[in-house]
Chain A
Amino acid sequence: MTDNDIIDLYFARDDRAVTWTAAQYGTPLFHLAQRFVAREDAEECVNDTYMSAWNHIPPTRPAHFFAWLAKVCRNHVISRTRWNDAVKRSTDLVELSDELSQCIPDERYNREREAEELGAALSEFLRSLPQEKRVMFLRRYWFGDSVAEVAEQLGITESKVKVTLHRVRGQLKIYLEKEDIPL
Protein backbone atom coordinates (compact mmCIF):
# COMPACT_ATOMS: atom_id res chain seq x y z
CA MET A 1 0.00 0.00 0.00
CA THR A 2 1.71 3.16 -1.15
CA ASP A 3 1.04 6.63 0.15
CA ASN A 4 -0.80 7.39 -3.04
CA ASP A 5 -2.98 4.32 -2.55
CA ILE A 6 -3.91 5.54 0.93
CA ILE A 7 -4.60 9.03 -0.34
CA ASP A 8 -6.79 7.55 -3.07
CA LEU A 9 -8.82 5.85 -0.34
CA TYR A 10 -9.35 9.25 1.27
CA PHE A 11 -10.49 10.63 -2.06
CA ALA A 12 -12.87 7.70 -2.43
CA ARG A 13 -14.16 8.46 1.10
CA ASP A 14 -13.25 4.92 2.07
CA ASP A 15 -12.74 4.76 5.83
CA ARG A 16 -10.00 2.16 5.39
CA ALA A 17 -7.88 5.18 4.56
CA VAL A 18 -7.75 5.96 8.26
CA THR A 19 -7.05 2.34 9.15
CA TRP A 20 -4.13 2.26 6.76
CA THR A 21 -2.85 5.61 7.90
CA ALA A 22 -2.87 4.35 11.48
CA ALA A 23 -1.17 1.11 10.51
CA GLN A 24 1.58 2.76 8.51
CA TYR A 25 2.16 5.94 10.44
CA GLY A 26 0.42 5.63 13.79
CA THR A 27 3.58 4.68 15.63
CA PRO A 28 5.84 7.48 14.36
CA LEU A 29 3.07 10.03 14.82
CA PHE A 30 2.54 8.90 18.37
CA HIS A 31 6.24 9.06 19.15
CA LEU A 32 6.41 12.53 17.64
CA ALA A 33 3.48 13.74 19.74
CA GLN A 34 4.84 12.12 22.88
CA ARG A 35 7.98 14.19 22.59
CA PHE A 36 6.00 17.29 23.45
CA VAL A 37 2.95 16.30 25.45
CA ALA A 38 1.88 13.67 27.94
CA ARG A 39 0.93 10.25 26.73
CA GLU A 40 -2.83 10.70 26.96
CA ASP A 41 -2.59 13.98 25.10
CA ALA A 42 -0.34 12.37 22.50
CA GLU A 43 -2.97 9.75 21.78
CA GLU A 44 -5.57 12.46 21.37
CA CYS A 45 -3.31 14.40 19.04
CA VAL A 46 -2.77 11.39 16.83
CA ASN A 47 -6.51 10.74 16.68
CA ASP A 48 -7.06 14.40 15.84
CA THR A 49 -4.50 14.00 13.07
CA TYR A 50 -6.52 11.18 11.52
CA MET A 51 -9.62 13.31 11.74
CA SER A 52 -7.84 16.22 10.08
CA ALA A 53 -6.62 13.95 7.32
CA TRP A 54 -10.15 12.73 6.75
CA ASN A 55 -11.48 16.28 6.68
CA HIS A 56 -8.80 17.79 4.48
CA ILE A 57 -8.12 15.02 1.96
CA PRO A 58 -9.68 15.80 -0.46
CA PRO A 59 -9.19 18.45 -1.66
CA THR A 60 -5.64 18.43 -0.32
CA ARG A 61 -3.33 15.86 -1.91
CA PRO A 62 -0.11 15.90 0.11
CA ALA A 63 3.04 15.58 -1.96
CA HIS A 64 4.78 13.81 0.89
CA PHE A 65 2.18 12.09 3.00
CA PHE A 66 4.14 11.50 6.18
CA ALA A 67 5.65 14.97 6.26
CA TRP A 68 2.13 16.33 5.89
CA LEU A 69 0.74 14.10 8.62
CA ALA A 70 3.62 14.95 10.93
CA LYS A 71 2.97 18.63 10.41
CA VAL A 72 -0.72 18.25 11.15
CA CYS A 73 0.09 16.18 14.21
CA ARG A 74 2.59 18.73 15.44
CA ASN A 75 -0.02 21.45 14.99
CA HIS A 76 -2.40 19.56 17.24
CA VAL A 77 0.39 19.02 19.71
CA ILE A 78 1.25 22.71 19.86
CA SER A 79 -2.41 23.62 20.24
CA ARG A 80 -2.76 21.19 23.08
CA THR A 81 0.39 22.18 24.89
CA ARG A 82 -0.29 23.71 28.26
CA TRP A 83 2.31 26.40 27.93
CA ASN A 84 1.47 27.99 31.23
CA ASP A 85 1.36 24.81 33.22
CA ALA A 86 4.92 23.69 33.74
CA VAL A 87 3.82 20.50 35.43
CA LYS A 88 1.93 19.41 32.36
CA ARG A 89 4.69 20.20 29.94
CA SER A 90 6.92 17.34 29.04
CA THR A 91 10.54 17.45 30.11
CA ASP A 92 11.58 17.42 26.48
CA LEU A 93 9.43 20.40 25.66
CA VAL A 94 10.72 22.41 28.60
CA GLU A 95 14.26 21.72 27.44
CA LEU A 96 13.49 22.58 23.83
CA SER A 97 11.70 25.76 24.84
CA ASP A 98 14.61 26.87 26.94
CA GLU A 99 16.97 26.39 24.03
CA LEU A 100 14.67 28.14 21.60
CA SER A 101 14.29 31.08 23.96
CA GLN A 102 17.93 31.86 23.17
CA CYS A 103 16.85 32.68 19.61
CA ILE A 104 14.31 35.28 20.66
CA PRO A 105 15.38 38.81 19.83
CA ASP A 106 15.57 41.47 22.51
CA GLU A 107 12.33 43.07 23.60
CA ARG A 108 13.07 46.29 21.75
CA TYR A 109 12.85 44.37 18.54
CA ASN A 110 9.73 42.58 19.60
CA ARG A 111 7.00 42.79 17.07
CA GLU A 112 3.92 40.71 16.67
CA ARG A 113 4.31 38.47 13.70
CA GLU A 114 2.03 35.90 12.30
CA ALA A 115 3.26 32.36 12.75
CA GLU A 116 3.01 31.84 9.03
CA GLU A 117 5.16 34.83 8.27
CA LEU A 118 7.66 33.78 10.88
CA GLY A 119 7.63 30.26 9.46
CA ALA A 120 8.51 31.60 6.04
CA ALA A 121 11.38 33.56 7.57
CA LEU A 122 12.58 30.43 9.34
CA SER A 123 12.46 28.50 6.07
CA GLU A 124 14.58 31.16 4.44
CA PHE A 125 17.03 31.08 7.31
CA LEU A 126 17.24 27.30 7.24
CA ARG A 127 17.83 27.25 3.50
CA SER A 128 20.82 29.48 4.03
CA LEU A 129 22.43 26.83 6.24
CA PRO A 130 24.44 23.83 5.06
CA GLN A 131 22.26 20.74 4.89
CA GLU A 132 23.75 19.09 7.95
CA LYS A 133 23.07 22.08 10.16
CA ARG A 134 19.59 22.44 8.73
CA VAL A 135 18.75 18.82 9.37
CA MET A 136 20.28 19.01 12.83
CA PHE A 137 18.16 22.03 13.72
CA LEU A 138 14.91 20.51 12.48
CA ARG A 139 15.55 17.12 14.08
CA ARG A 140 16.10 18.85 17.38
CA TYR A 141 13.40 21.52 17.34
CA TRP A 142 10.84 20.22 14.90
CA PHE A 143 10.88 16.52 15.74
CA GLY A 144 12.03 16.98 19.33
CA ASP A 145 14.86 14.46 19.06
CA SER A 146 17.41 14.41 21.85
CA VAL A 147 20.95 15.61 21.27
CA ALA A 148 22.17 12.03 21.53
CA GLU A 149 19.69 10.89 18.92
CA VAL A 150 20.60 13.67 16.53
CA ALA A 151 24.28 12.79 16.97
CA GLU A 152 23.59 9.18 16.18
CA GLN A 153 21.45 9.99 13.17
CA LEU A 154 24.13 12.19 11.69
CA GLY A 155 27.07 10.06 12.73
CA ILE A 156 28.74 12.83 14.73
CA THR A 157 29.50 13.40 18.39
CA GLU A 158 27.05 14.85 20.86
CA SER A 159 29.37 17.68 21.66
CA LYS A 160 29.50 18.64 18.01
CA VAL A 161 25.71 18.69 17.92
CA LYS A 162 25.58 20.89 21.02
CA VAL A 163 28.16 23.32 19.74
CA THR A 164 26.61 23.51 16.28
CA LEU A 165 23.12 24.03 17.63
CA HIS A 166 24.40 26.71 19.96
CA ARG A 167 25.91 28.55 17.01
CA VAL A 168 22.83 28.10 14.85
CA ARG A 169 20.64 29.48 17.63
CA GLY A 170 22.90 32.49 17.81
CA GLN A 171 22.72 32.96 14.05
CA LEU A 172 18.96 32.64 14.17
CA LYS A 173 18.70 35.26 16.86
CA ILE A 174 20.67 37.71 14.75
CA TYR A 175 18.60 36.80 11.72
CA LEU A 176 15.32 37.36 13.56
CA GLU A 177 16.54 40.64 14.98
CA LYS A 178 17.27 41.83 11.48
CA GLU A 179 13.96 40.56 10.24
CA ASP A 180 12.09 42.23 13.05
CA ILE A 181 13.56 45.70 12.67
CA PRO A 182 10.68 47.91 11.67
CA LEU A 183 11.12 49.59 8.31
Chain B
Amino acid sequence: MTEKDLMEALNHVDDELIRESIEATGKRKKKRFRIPSAAAAMVVLVIGAGAALGGSVIIVQSAKIRELENAASVSEAAAGEKGSSAENNLFFAVKNSYEELYEALEEMNDREQVVYEEAMDVMEEAAADGDIPASGITSAPASKEGGDYSKTNLMTEGVDESDIVKTDGKYIYMVQSGTIRITDVQNGTPGEFTALMIPFEAPSAQIRELYVDGDRMVVITSHYPSQTYAYSYDISDPRDPKLLGDRVQDGTYNTSRKVGNVVYLFTDRDMRTPDLRKKEAVKDNNLSQWIPGVNGEPVAVDSIYVPEYGRNSLVVSAFDVSEPTETIDAKVILNDYAQIYVGNEHIYLYRSDWSAHQITEITSFTYQNGHITAVASTTVGG
Protein backbone atom coordinates (compact mmCIF):
# COMPACT_ATOMS: atom_id res chain seq x y z
CA MET B 1 0.00 0.00 0.00
CA THR B 2 1.30 3.47 -0.88
CA GLU B 3 0.30 7.07 -0.24
CA LYS B 4 -1.14 7.05 -3.72
CA ASP B 5 -3.38 4.09 -2.79
CA LEU B 6 -4.62 5.98 0.23
CA MET B 7 -5.24 9.15 -1.75
CA GLU B 8 -7.17 7.14 -4.31
CA ALA B 9 -9.05 5.22 -1.68
CA LEU B 10 -10.14 8.46 -0.04
CA ASN B 11 -12.05 9.18 -3.20
CA HIS B 12 -14.23 6.20 -2.44
CA VAL B 13 -15.24 7.51 0.93
CA ASP B 14 -19.01 7.82 1.20
CA ASP B 15 -20.56 10.94 -0.34
CA GLU B 16 -22.38 11.53 2.89
CA LEU B 17 -19.10 12.06 4.74
CA ILE B 18 -17.84 14.48 2.11
CA ARG B 19 -21.06 16.39 2.29
CA GLU B 20 -20.80 16.54 6.04
CA SER B 21 -17.32 18.02 5.87
CA ILE B 22 -18.49 20.64 3.39
CA GLU B 23 -21.45 21.66 5.48
CA ALA B 24 -19.79 21.45 8.87
CA THR B 25 -16.98 23.82 7.97
CA GLY B 26 -19.00 26.22 5.88
CA LYS B 27 -21.10 27.23 8.84
CA ARG B 28 -18.16 27.86 11.11
CA LYS B 29 -15.87 29.65 8.76
CA LYS B 30 -14.51 32.92 9.93
CA LYS B 31 -14.07 35.94 7.84
CA ARG B 32 -10.92 35.73 5.79
CA PHE B 33 -10.63 38.99 4.03
CA ARG B 34 -9.60 42.12 5.76
CA ILE B 35 -11.81 44.93 4.66
CA PRO B 36 -9.41 47.68 3.82
CA SER B 37 -9.91 51.15 5.17
CA ALA B 38 -11.01 53.78 2.73
CA ALA B 39 -7.62 55.39 2.96
CA ALA B 40 -5.92 52.16 2.08
CA ALA B 41 -7.75 52.35 -1.17
CA MET B 42 -7.92 48.80 -2.32
CA VAL B 43 -10.22 46.07 -3.17
CA VAL B 44 -11.79 42.94 -3.04
CA LEU B 45 -15.07 42.67 -4.39
CA VAL B 46 -16.43 39.74 -5.67
CA ILE B 47 -16.30 36.14 -5.62
CA GLY B 48 -18.36 34.48 -8.02
CA ALA B 49 -21.32 32.41 -7.46
CA GLY B 50 -23.87 32.54 -10.15
CA ALA B 51 -21.86 34.98 -12.12
CA ALA B 52 -23.92 36.75 -14.65
CA LEU B 53 -23.96 34.73 -17.76
CA GLY B 54 -25.77 36.98 -20.13
CA GLY B 55 -29.06 36.84 -21.86
CA SER B 56 -32.09 35.19 -20.50
CA VAL B 57 -30.12 32.95 -18.21
CA ILE B 58 -29.01 35.80 -16.02
CA ILE B 59 -30.76 35.60 -12.73
CA VAL B 60 -30.26 38.01 -9.92
CA GLN B 61 -32.44 38.59 -6.95
CA SER B 62 -34.40 41.75 -7.34
CA ALA B 63 -34.11 42.50 -3.65
CA LYS B 64 -30.35 42.33 -3.82
CA ILE B 65 -30.34 44.67 -6.80
CA ARG B 66 -32.37 47.23 -4.90
CA GLU B 67 -30.01 46.93 -1.97
CA LEU B 68 -27.06 47.45 -4.23
CA GLU B 69 -28.51 50.55 -5.73
CA ASN B 70 -29.48 51.98 -2.37
CA ALA B 71 -26.14 51.20 -0.76
CA ALA B 72 -24.18 52.56 -3.68
CA SER B 73 -26.15 55.78 -3.78
CA VAL B 74 -25.60 56.28 -0.05
CA SER B 75 -21.90 55.70 -0.53
CA GLU B 76 -21.72 58.12 -3.44
CA ALA B 77 -23.60 60.72 -1.46
CA ALA B 78 -21.27 60.29 1.49
CA ALA B 79 -18.26 60.68 -0.74
CA GLY B 80 -19.76 63.86 -2.14
CA GLU B 81 -20.57 65.34 1.25
CA LYS B 82 -17.00 64.93 2.39
CA GLY B 83 -16.01 67.14 -0.45
CA SER B 84 -13.52 64.61 -1.59
CA SER B 85 -13.05 62.83 -4.82
CA ALA B 86 -15.43 59.93 -4.95
CA GLU B 87 -12.60 57.72 -6.08
CA ASN B 88 -10.91 58.26 -2.72
CA ASN B 89 -13.59 56.01 -1.34
CA LEU B 90 -12.75 53.10 -3.63
CA PHE B 91 -11.50 49.72 -2.57
CA PHE B 92 -9.27 49.90 -5.63
CA ALA B 93 -6.16 51.82 -6.47
CA VAL B 94 -4.92 52.87 -9.89
CA LYS B 95 -1.18 52.65 -10.40
CA ASN B 96 0.88 55.34 -12.05
CA SER B 97 3.01 53.06 -14.17
CA TYR B 98 3.32 49.47 -15.33
CA GLU B 99 6.31 49.21 -12.98
CA GLU B 100 4.07 50.01 -10.03
CA LEU B 101 1.45 47.63 -11.32
CA TYR B 102 4.06 44.88 -11.64
CA GLU B 103 5.17 45.51 -8.07
CA ALA B 104 1.58 45.47 -6.81
CA LEU B 105 0.95 42.10 -8.45
CA GLU B 106 4.15 40.72 -7.00
CA GLU B 107 3.12 41.92 -3.55
CA MET B 108 -0.23 40.29 -4.08
CA ASN B 109 1.59 37.06 -4.88
CA ASP B 110 3.26 37.22 -1.52
CA ARG B 111 0.15 38.22 0.34
CA GLU B 112 -2.59 36.32 -1.26
CA GLN B 113 -3.76 33.01 -0.03
CA VAL B 114 -6.43 31.62 -2.20
CA VAL B 115 -9.18 30.71 0.18
CA TYR B 116 -10.81 27.49 -0.62
CA GLU B 117 -13.47 27.87 2.04
CA GLU B 118 -14.47 31.15 0.50
CA ALA B 119 -15.25 29.26 -2.60
CA MET B 120 -17.07 26.67 -0.57
CA ASP B 121 -19.19 29.41 0.88
CA VAL B 122 -19.94 30.66 -2.54
CA MET B 123 -21.09 27.22 -3.43
CA GLU B 124 -23.36 27.13 -0.43
CA GLU B 125 -24.58 30.61 -1.06
CA ALA B 126 -25.38 29.67 -4.61
CA ALA B 127 -27.31 26.68 -3.40
CA ALA B 128 -29.07 28.72 -0.74
CA ASP B 129 -29.96 31.40 -3.22
CA GLY B 130 -31.24 28.85 -5.64
CA ASP B 131 -34.87 29.73 -5.28
CA ILE B 132 -34.74 32.90 -7.20
CA PRO B 133 -37.99 34.79 -7.02
CA ALA B 134 -39.72 35.26 -10.31
CA SER B 135 -39.88 38.94 -9.57
CA GLY B 136 -36.14 39.07 -10.07
CA ILE B 137 -36.64 39.16 -13.79
CA THR B 138 -38.59 41.74 -15.63
CA SER B 139 -39.99 41.07 -19.00
CA ALA B 140 -39.83 43.75 -21.58
CA PRO B 141 -43.28 44.63 -22.74
CA ALA B 142 -44.30 43.57 -26.19
CA SER B 143 -43.46 46.10 -28.83
CA LYS B 144 -46.24 48.56 -29.48
CA GLU B 145 -44.98 49.15 -32.94
CA GLY B 146 -43.91 46.28 -35.09
CA GLY B 147 -46.44 43.76 -33.83
CA ASP B 148 -46.73 41.60 -30.76
CA TYR B 149 -43.59 39.69 -29.95
CA SER B 150 -41.59 39.08 -26.84
CA LYS B 151 -38.00 40.03 -26.18
CA THR B 152 -35.28 38.70 -23.97
CA ASN B 153 -36.12 38.97 -20.30
CA LEU B 154 -34.23 41.91 -18.92
CA MET B 155 -33.08 42.71 -15.42
CA THR B 156 -33.19 46.42 -16.14
CA GLU B 157 -35.47 48.16 -18.57
CA GLY B 158 -33.46 49.89 -21.24
CA VAL B 159 -30.40 47.73 -20.68
CA ASP B 160 -30.46 45.04 -23.32
CA GLU B 161 -28.98 41.63 -22.69
CA SER B 162 -27.61 39.23 -25.21
CA ASP B 163 -29.28 35.90 -25.79
CA ILE B 164 -29.06 32.86 -28.00
CA VAL B 165 -32.34 33.76 -29.65
CA LYS B 166 -33.52 37.21 -30.65
CA THR B 167 -36.34 38.49 -32.76
CA ASP B 168 -37.36 41.78 -34.25
CA GLY B 169 -40.88 40.55 -34.84
CA LYS B 170 -40.16 39.77 -38.50
CA TYR B 171 -37.20 37.46 -38.26
CA ILE B 172 -35.91 35.11 -35.62
CA TYR B 173 -32.16 35.13 -35.12
CA MET B 174 -30.97 32.01 -33.43
CA VAL B 175 -27.60 30.52 -32.51
CA GLN B 176 -27.52 27.09 -34.04
CA SER B 177 -24.57 24.76 -34.53
CA GLY B 178 -21.97 27.42 -35.09
CA THR B 179 -24.18 29.54 -37.32
CA ILE B 180 -26.81 32.20 -36.90
CA ARG B 181 -30.04 30.92 -38.34
CA ILE B 182 -32.20 33.79 -39.49
CA THR B 183 -35.75 32.71 -40.13
CA ASP B 184 -38.44 34.78 -41.77
CA VAL B 185 -41.60 34.67 -39.66
CA GLN B 186 -43.48 37.54 -41.24
CA ASN B 187 -46.25 35.24 -42.35
CA GLY B 188 -46.78 34.00 -38.85
CA THR B 189 -45.05 30.71 -39.53
CA PRO B 190 -41.38 29.91 -40.10
CA GLY B 191 -40.50 30.63 -43.71
CA GLU B 192 -37.22 30.94 -45.55
CA PHE B 193 -34.12 31.00 -43.49
CA THR B 194 -30.53 32.09 -43.90
CA ALA B 195 -27.67 30.30 -42.19
CA LEU B 196 -25.01 32.88 -41.47
CA MET B 197 -21.52 31.52 -40.99
CA ILE B 198 -19.42 33.55 -38.59
CA PRO B 199 -15.81 34.05 -39.75
CA PHE B 200 -14.30 32.46 -36.65
CA GLU B 201 -10.75 33.40 -35.82
CA ALA B 202 -10.06 29.99 -34.34
CA PRO B 203 -11.46 26.51 -35.01
CA SER B 204 -12.41 26.12 -31.36
CA ALA B 205 -14.56 29.24 -31.36
CA GLN B 206 -18.16 29.02 -30.28
CA ILE B 207 -20.99 31.45 -30.67
CA ARG B 208 -22.10 32.59 -27.26
CA GLU B 209 -24.90 35.09 -27.72
CA LEU B 210 -26.15 37.87 -29.91
CA TYR B 211 -27.93 41.19 -30.02
CA VAL B 212 -30.43 42.36 -32.58
CA ASP B 213 -31.54 45.95 -32.66
CA GLY B 214 -32.92 47.67 -35.74
CA ASP B 215 -30.56 47.04 -38.61
CA ARG B 216 -27.65 45.94 -36.44
CA MET B 217 -26.73 42.53 -35.10
CA VAL B 218 -23.80 41.82 -32.82
CA VAL B 219 -22.61 38.23 -32.44
CA ILE B 220 -20.37 37.33 -29.51
CA THR B 221 -18.05 34.35 -29.76
CA SER B 222 -15.29 32.98 -27.63
CA HIS B 223 -12.55 30.45 -28.06
CA TYR B 224 -9.80 28.77 -26.16
CA PRO B 225 -7.45 30.06 -24.91
CA SER B 226 -9.65 32.74 -23.58
CA GLN B 227 -10.41 35.36 -26.12
CA THR B 228 -13.79 36.83 -26.87
CA TYR B 229 -14.81 38.28 -30.21
CA ALA B 230 -17.72 40.49 -31.20
CA TYR B 231 -18.84 40.69 -34.82
CA SER B 232 -21.09 43.49 -35.93
CA TYR B 233 -23.44 43.04 -38.88
CA ASP B 234 -25.67 45.26 -40.94
CA ILE B 235 -28.93 43.34 -41.16
CA SER B 236 -30.97 45.87 -43.09
CA ASP B 237 -31.47 42.89 -45.40
CA PRO B 238 -31.66 39.96 -42.97
CA ARG B 239 -31.30 37.52 -45.84
CA ASP B 240 -27.88 38.96 -46.60
CA PRO B 241 -26.15 40.26 -43.46
CA LYS B 242 -23.08 42.39 -44.09
CA LEU B 243 -20.13 42.20 -41.71
CA LEU B 244 -19.21 45.69 -40.53
CA GLY B 245 -16.20 44.60 -38.51
CA ASP B 246 -15.12 42.70 -35.46
CA ARG B 247 -13.19 43.18 -32.29
CA VAL B 248 -11.32 40.94 -29.90
CA GLN B 249 -10.93 41.14 -26.17
CA ASP B 250 -8.77 38.99 -23.93
CA GLY B 251 -10.59 36.76 -21.48
CA THR B 252 -13.42 34.31 -21.42
CA TYR B 253 -16.84 35.73 -22.00
CA ASN B 254 -18.62 36.71 -18.81
CA THR B 255 -21.55 38.82 -19.87
CA SER B 256 -22.47 41.89 -21.87
CA ARG B 257 -25.04 44.63 -22.08
CA LYS B 258 -26.22 47.01 -24.75
CA VAL B 259 -27.48 50.45 -23.97
CA GLY B 260 -28.50 52.43 -27.01
CA ASN B 261 -25.90 51.73 -29.65
CA VAL B 262 -23.14 50.91 -27.21
CA VAL B 263 -22.22 47.38 -26.22
CA TYR B 264 -20.37 46.74 -22.95
CA LEU B 265 -18.40 43.51 -23.12
CA PHE B 266 -17.25 41.81 -19.90
CA THR B 267 -14.61 39.11 -19.95
CA ASP B 268 -12.56 37.34 -17.29
CA ARG B 269 -8.85 36.70 -17.45
CA ASP B 270 -6.35 35.60 -14.87
CA MET B 271 -3.67 38.23 -14.37
CA ARG B 272 -0.24 37.47 -13.06
CA THR B 273 3.19 38.87 -13.61
CA PRO B 274 5.04 37.07 -16.41
CA ASP B 275 8.25 35.09 -16.02
CA LEU B 276 10.20 38.21 -16.77
CA ARG B 277 12.07 40.66 -14.65
CA LYS B 278 10.21 43.89 -14.08
CA LYS B 279 12.52 45.81 -16.38
CA GLU B 280 11.70 43.45 -19.25
CA ALA B 281 8.03 42.95 -18.38
CA VAL B 282 7.17 46.62 -18.67
CA LYS B 283 8.59 47.00 -22.17
CA ASP B 284 5.90 47.71 -24.73
CA ASN B 285 6.45 44.51 -26.65
CA ASN B 286 6.11 42.41 -23.48
CA LEU B 287 3.01 44.01 -22.00
CA SER B 288 0.67 41.67 -23.83
CA GLN B 289 2.16 38.79 -21.84
CA TRP B 290 0.45 39.97 -18.68
CA ILE B 291 -1.78 42.96 -19.41
CA PRO B 292 -5.21 42.07 -20.88
CA GLY B 293 -5.70 43.50 -24.32
CA VAL B 294 -8.59 44.94 -26.25
CA ASN B 295 -8.28 44.84 -30.01
CA GLY B 296 -4.66 43.85 -29.56
CA GLU B 297 -3.80 46.85 -27.39
CA PRO B 298 -2.88 46.29 -23.73
CA VAL B 299 -5.21 48.24 -21.48
CA ALA B 300 -3.63 51.49 -20.27
CA VAL B 301 -2.21 51.34 -16.77
CA ASP B 302 -4.40 54.20 -15.57
CA SER B 303 -7.45 52.15 -16.54
CA ILE B 304 -6.49 49.16 -14.39
CA TYR B 305 -8.05 49.02 -10.94
CA VAL B 306 -5.93 47.09 -8.48
CA PRO B 307 -7.28 45.67 -5.25
CA GLU B 308 -5.49 44.18 -2.33
CA TYR B 309 -6.65 40.69 -3.22
CA GLY B 310 -7.99 39.08 -6.34
CA ARG B 311 -6.24 38.30 -9.55
CA ASN B 312 -9.12 37.67 -11.87
CA SER B 313 -9.17 40.62 -14.19
CA LEU B 314 -12.58 41.68 -15.29
CA VAL B 315 -12.02 43.33 -18.64
CA VAL B 316 -14.74 45.74 -19.69
CA SER B 317 -14.76 47.49 -23.01
CA ALA B 318 -17.37 49.57 -24.75
CA PHE B 319 -17.92 49.95 -28.46
CA ASP B 320 -20.52 51.28 -30.86
CA VAL B 321 -22.37 48.55 -32.74
CA SER B 322 -21.68 50.36 -36.02
CA GLU B 323 -17.95 50.76 -35.34
CA PRO B 324 -16.87 47.57 -33.63
CA THR B 325 -13.18 48.08 -34.29
CA GLU B 326 -13.16 51.34 -32.33
CA THR B 327 -12.91 51.11 -28.56
CA ILE B 328 -14.74 53.86 -26.72
CA ASP B 329 -13.30 52.86 -23.37
CA ALA B 330 -11.61 49.87 -21.76
CA LYS B 331 -11.05 49.08 -18.13
CA VAL B 332 -9.55 46.22 -16.17
CA ILE B 333 -10.85 45.63 -12.67
CA LEU B 334 -8.93 43.06 -10.68
CA ASN B 335 -11.17 41.10 -8.35
CA ASP B 336 -11.93 37.61 -7.23
CA TYR B 337 -14.67 36.69 -9.67
CA ALA B 338 -17.21 39.43 -9.58
CA GLN B 339 -20.90 39.33 -9.63
CA ILE B 340 -22.08 42.01 -11.96
CA TYR B 341 -25.24 43.97 -12.11
CA VAL B 342 -25.82 46.67 -14.67
CA GLY B 343 -28.42 49.28 -13.86
CA ASN B 344 -29.56 52.20 -15.96
CA GLU B 345 -26.66 54.41 -14.98
CA HIS B 346 -24.27 52.25 -13.02
CA ILE B 347 -22.36 49.04 -13.20
CA TYR B 348 -22.09 47.36 -9.82
CA LEU B 349 -19.57 44.77 -8.78
CA TYR B 350 -20.39 43.04 -5.57
CA ARG B 351 -19.17 40.31 -3.35
CA SER B 352 -20.86 38.78 -0.36
CA ASP B 353 -18.81 37.69 2.60
CA TRP B 354 -20.58 34.83 4.31
CA SER B 355 -18.76 35.05 7.57
CA ALA B 356 -20.48 35.26 10.91
CA HIS B 357 -21.01 38.92 10.22
CA GLN B 358 -22.35 38.83 6.72
CA ILE B 359 -21.54 41.80 4.61
CA THR B 360 -21.66 42.66 0.97
CA GLU B 361 -18.96 44.77 -0.59
CA ILE B 362 -20.02 46.90 -3.50
CA THR B 363 -18.26 49.13 -5.96
CA SER B 364 -20.14 51.19 -8.47
CA PHE B 365 -19.03 52.56 -11.80
CA THR B 366 -20.93 55.02 -13.91
CA TYR B 367 -21.21 54.43 -17.60
CA GLN B 368 -22.28 56.97 -20.13
CA ASN B 369 -21.95 56.75 -23.89
CA GLY B 370 -19.40 54.04 -23.46
CA HIS B 371 -17.21 55.79 -20.91
CA ILE B 372 -16.80 53.92 -17.64
CA THR B 373 -15.75 55.65 -14.42
CA ALA B 374 -15.29 54.24 -10.95
CA VAL B 375 -17.42 56.08 -8.43
CA ALA B 376 -17.35 54.59 -4.96
CA SER B 377 -17.07 51.48 -2.87
CA THR B 378 -18.97 50.57 0.23
CA THR B 379 -19.96 47.68 2.43
CA VAL B 380 -23.41 46.88 3.68
CA GLY B 381 -24.65 44.40 6.23
CA GLY B 382 -26.31 41.24 5.10
A residues with a Cβ closer than 8 A to B are 1-3, 5, 16, 19-20, 23-25, 27-28, 31-32, 34-35, 62-64, 66-68, 70-71, 74-75, 78, 81, 83, 96-98, 100-101, 103-105, 110-111, 113, 115-116, 118-123, 126-127, 131, 134-135, 138-139, 141-145, 149, 152-155, 176, 180
Contacts and interface: CB of A to CB of B under 8 A. Distances in A.
A78 B7 CA distance: 7
**Nearest 8 CB-CB pairings of A with B:** A119-B12, A2-B130, A118-B9, A28-B119, A153-B25, A97-B3, A138-B21, A115-B8
Contact of B22 (A3, A23, A66): A66
B19 A155 contact: no
Contact of A1 (B7, B11, B50): B50
Contacts of B24: 131, 135
Contact of B1 (A1, A23, A24, A110): A110
Given A134-B21, A176-B1, A115 B11 contact: yes
A138 B17 contact: yes
B130 A126 contact: no
B11 A119 contact: yes
Interface of B: 1-15, 17-22, 24-25, 28-30, 32, 47-51, 53, 57, 59, 114-117, 119-120, 122-123, 126-127, 130-132, 337
A66 B114 contact: no
Contacts of B14: 123
A68 B15 contact: yes
B127 A2 contact: yes
Contacts of B116: 28, 31-32, 35, 143-145, 149
A120 B105 CA distance: 45
B12 A1 contact: no
Contacts of A152: 29-30, 32, 117
Contacts of B119: 27-28, 31
Chain B interface mostly helix, strand, loop or mixed? helix
Contacts of B50: 1, 23-24
Contacts of A134: 17, 20-21
A31 B114 contact: yes
A126 B13 contact: yes
Contact of A142 (B21, B30, B47): B21
B38 to A, nearest CB: 27
A16, A35, A152, A180: residue with the most chain B Cβ atoms closer than 10 Å: A152
Contact of A139 (B2, B21, B32, B122): B21
Contact of A127 (B17, B22, B28, B51): B17
B15 A67 contact: yes
Given A101-B3, A135-B24, 17 more contacts: A1-B132, A3-B127, A35-B116, A67-B19, A71-B11, A78-B11, A97-B3, A100-B6, A110-B1, A115-B9, A119-B11, A123-B14, A138-B18, A153-B28, A154-B25, A176-B1, A180-B1
Contacts of A63: 15
Nearest to A134: B17
Contacts of B4: 78, 81, 83, 97
A87 to B, nearest CB: 16
A122 B114 contact: no
A66 B123 contact: yes
Contacts of B20: 131, 134-135
A104 B2 contact: yes
20 contacts: A3-B127, A25-B126, A27-B47, A28-B120, A75-B11, A98-B3, A100-B6, A104-B2, A115-B5, A118-B9, A118-B12, A119-B9, A123-B13, A123-B17, A135-B25, A138-B10, A138-B18, A144-B116, A149-B117, A153-B25
Contact of A116 (B2, B6, B12, B114): B12
A66 B127 contact: yes
Contacts of A113: 1, 5, 9
Contacts of A110: 1
Contacts of A1: 50, 59, 126, 130, 132
A60 to B, nearest CB: 12
Given A2-B131, A116-B12, A149-B117, A27 B5 contact: no
B318 to A, nearest CB: 23
A24, A75, A100, A121: residue with the most chain B Cβ atoms closer than 10 Å: A24
B121 to A, nearest CB: 9
Contact of A104 (B3, B130, B337): B3
A108 to B, nearest CB: 12
Contacts of B114: 31, 34
B322 to A, nearest CB: 30
A28 B127 contact: no
Contacts of A62: 15
